[in-house]
């Protein structure tokens, strides 16, 4: 097999056959296809897209490259959620224990940071001892014990996607609908779930910049879910500003804990409850959104969701008391606006790249994440700001990085004298 011929075929806009996709992607998994050749194929797919047969074949190749989980003996409805990525999105940390408390089983295979967006696994690994790489049998036990568990994509589950995931970030091919579909849906199908809700982010702080692009992605996700007998619901949410009050690593775990104590910001809780409601209706726990939201709030008000979170962390080896008492970042700085007025827009992607600069997303294999790094958003879209009052609090443990970020972060805000309304969180 001459792999370059398949690259040329895709480069020229032709569709690949199922056997072609199997040969090329499995060839990469076993080392016959090089990083350079896969990079070229990813770029060809990025520019030319894929047809239905190609996308379905890609999902199946990634799925069959490893093992799948089996929850056929589970008494509870097995389901999960997934977000296409954004700044400050820590919904998984909040939603999973809430839904688990209401009787669902949530086996969550989560990812690391990709491009300018943070990853659930990177955040959870801020908790000392937290094991994100268990044996599959242990993972299934954890789900049974606590109702949910979170693990990183392992060598056993969708290894083809695991190997490609890092390459997509390095080659600028993250925002490709076929590649996003292949990556997300293969992992979700491998979880052995019956239900799925997808939070597709729309706006300048995510990979789907326009609503049309997001709807196209959502349509593909639904078709794939249906093809693999998974109930799939889609919501579209606003990522033209960060979600919640914090973005970073440890600070997002702290904020998630505050949400489970009933102290969460409105936008973050609105997305959480919307996704949870979809899953509760899918599972038959309730038939109405109003009742679904009421049930979720009761999990928080009673303290049950927080207890489940704490138990789950302990089960996975995490030392939450040590995390809560760990040292604060060495440096912090306040960022002030260039002028007074109202925040018209936030360049959320640029905020994400500032977080990358502080060490919140890996850019190369030898790099270490700065778990203390993050940004607190003191003001957001629609808020009135004054030149002598800070709009951001920036913190990390590298003085040079915090000085660099503090000088340019205020450029992410567009400020004018005219007041604007904050756009809806759920589109």
Task: Please name the residue that has the structure tokens 């242990």.
Answer: 138
Helix (H, G, I), strand (E, B) or coil at 35: helix
Cβ neighbours of residue 183 closer than 8 Å, sequence gap 6 or more: 62, 161, 164, 165, 168
263: exposed, middle or buried (Cβ count in 10 Å: 0-12, 13-18, 19+):
exposed
| Distance separating alpha carbons of residues 365 and 129, to the nearest angstrom | 21
- What is residue 367's predicted lDDT score, i.e. its pLDDT? 79
> What distance, in Å, lies between the first and last C-alpha atoms of the chain?
47
Q: Which CATH superfamily is domain 331-416 in?
A: Pyrimidine nucleoside phosphorylase-like, C-terminal domain (3.90.1170.30)
- CATH code given to domain 3-49: 1.20.970.10
Round the average pLDDT of the chain to a whole number and report it.
94
Helix (H, G, I), strand (E, B) or coil at 345: strand
pLDDT at 249 over 70: yes
Quick check: 151 and 139 in contact, CB under 8 A? yes
pLDDT at 102 over 80: yes
- What is residue 384's predicted lDDT score, i.e. its pLDDT? 96
pLDDT at 195 over 90: yes
Taking only the tens place, the pLDDT of each residue in 76-97 is 899 999 998 899 999 999 999 9
| Distance separating alpha carbons of residues 333 and 419, to the nearest angstrom | 27
CATH 3.90.1170.30-classified regions of the chain: 331-416
Taking only the tens place, the pLDDT of each residue in 291-321 is 999 999 999 999 999 999 999 999 999 999 9
Spell out a b/e string for 250-262, using b for 16 or more CB atoms within 10 Å of the CB, else e: bbbbbbbbbbbee
**Which residues participate in catalysis according to the annotation?**
82, 161, 168, 183, 187
- What is residue 326's predicted lDDT score, i.e. its pLDDT? 75
Task: Report the candidate in 10, 37, 13, 64 with the shortest Cα–Cα distance to residue 182.
Answer: 64
Q: For domain 79-323, is the CATH number 3.30.300.100?
A: no
CATH 3.40.1030.10-classified regions of the chain: 79-323
- What is residue 85's predicted lDDT score, i.e. its pLDDT? 85
Task: Please name the residue that has the structure tokens 């990085």.
Answer: 401
Give start and end residues of each alpha helix (H) in 134-264. 136-146, 159-171, 177-190, 211-227, 250-260
Q: What percent of the chain has pLDDT over 90?
A: 83
pLDDT at 266 over 90: yes
What's the whole-model pTM score? 0.91
User: Interior CA angle at 90 toward 88 and 94, to 5°?
Assistant: 150
The pLDDT confidence band at residue 365, using thresholds 50, 70 and 90, is low
| Distance separating alpha carbons of residues 201 and 225, to the nearest angstrom | 18
What value does the mean pLDDT take over residues 379-390?
Answer: 96
- What is residue 354's predicted lDDT score, i.e. its pLDDT? 97
- What is residue 381's predicted lDDT score, i.e. its pLDDT? 96
pLDDT at 246 over 80: yes
- What is residue 318's predicted lDDT score, i.e. its pLDDT? 97
Spell out a b/e string for 352-378, using b for 16 or more CB atoms within 10 Å of the CB, else e: bbbbbbbbbbbeeeeeebbbbbbbbbe
User: Interior CA angle at 332 toward 331 and 333, to 5°?
Assistant: 135
pLDDT at 324 over 90: no
- What is residue 1's predicted lDDT score, i.e. its pLDDT? 65
Residue 413 sits at φ, ψ, to 5 deg, of -105, 135
What value does the mean pLDDT take over residues 387-395?
Answer: 97
What value does the mean pLDDT take over residues 274-295?
Answer: 97
44: exposed, middle or buried (Cβ count in 10 Å: 0-12, 13-18, 19+):
buried
Taking only the tens place, the pLDDT of each residue in 138-147 is 999 999 999 9
Task: Please name the residue that has the structure tokens 């309730």.
Answer: 286
Task: Report the candidate in 360, 118, 87 with the shortest Cα–Cα distance to residue 240.
Answer: 87
Q: Specify the range with the lowest mean pLDDT, choosing from 146-150, 226-230, 366-370.
A: 366-370
Phi-psi region of 284 (alpha: psi -120 to 50; beta: other; left: phi over 0): left
Q: Which residues pair with 395 in a beta bridge?
A: 332, 374
Distances in Å between the Cα of 270 and the Cα atoms of 27, 106, 293 are 44, 20, 10
Taking only the tens place, the pLDDT of each residue in 21-78 is 999 999 999 999 999 999 999 999 999 999 999 999 999 999 999 999 988 888 889 9
């Amino acid at each position: 097999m001459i792999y370059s011929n398949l690259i040329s075929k895709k480069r020229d806009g032709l569709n690949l056959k199922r056997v072609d996709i199997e040969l090329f992607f499995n060839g990469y998994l076993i080392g016959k296809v090089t990083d350079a050749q896969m990079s070229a194929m990813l770029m060809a797919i990025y520019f030319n897209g894929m047809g239905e047969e190609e996308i379905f074949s890609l999902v199946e190749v990634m799925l069959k490259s490893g093992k799948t989980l089996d929850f056929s003996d589970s008494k509870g409805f097995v389901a999960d959620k997934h977000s296409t990525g954004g700044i400050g999105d820590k919904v998984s940390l909040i939603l999973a224990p809430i839904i688990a408390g209401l009787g669902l089983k949530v086996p969550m295979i989560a990812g690391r940071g990709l491009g300018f967006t943070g990853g659930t696994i990177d955040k959870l690994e801020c908790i000392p001892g937290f094991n994100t790489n268990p044996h599959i049998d242990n993972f299934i036990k954890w789900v049974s014990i606590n109702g949910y568990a979170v693990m990183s994509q392992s060598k056993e589950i969708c290894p083809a996607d695991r190997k490609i995931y890092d390459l997509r970030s390095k080659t600028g091919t993250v925002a490709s609908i076929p590649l996003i579909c292949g990556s997300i849906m293969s992992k979700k199908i491998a979880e052995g779930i019956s239900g799925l809700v997808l939070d597709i982010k729309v706006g300048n702080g995510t990979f789907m910049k326009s609503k049309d692009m997001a709807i196209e992605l959502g349509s593909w996700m639904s078709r794939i879910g249906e093809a693999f007998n998974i109930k799939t619901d889609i919501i579209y949410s606003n990522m033209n500003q960060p979600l919640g009050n914090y973005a970073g690593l440890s600070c997002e775990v702290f904020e998630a804990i505050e949400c489970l104590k009933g102290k969460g910001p409105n936008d973050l809780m609105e997305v959480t409850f919307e996704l949870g409601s979809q899953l509760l209706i899918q599972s038959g726990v309730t038939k109405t959104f109003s009742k679904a939201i009421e049930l979720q709030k009761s999990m928080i008000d009673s303290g049950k969701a927080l207890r489940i979170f704490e138990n789950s962390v302990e089960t996975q080896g995490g030392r939450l008391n040590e995390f809560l008492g760990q040292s604060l970042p060495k440096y912090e700085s306040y960022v002030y606006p260039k002028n007074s007025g109202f925040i018209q827009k936030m360049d959320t992607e640029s905020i994400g790249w500032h977080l990358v600069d502080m060490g919140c997303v890996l850019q190369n294999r030898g790099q270490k994440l700065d778990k203390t790094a993050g940004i607190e958003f003191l003001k957001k879209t629609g808020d009135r700001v004054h030149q002598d009052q800070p709009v951001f609090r920036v913190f990390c443990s590298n003085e040079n990085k915090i000085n660099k970020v503090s000088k340019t972060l205020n450029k992410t805000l567009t400020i004018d004298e005219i007041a604007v309304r904050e756009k809806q969180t759920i589109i």
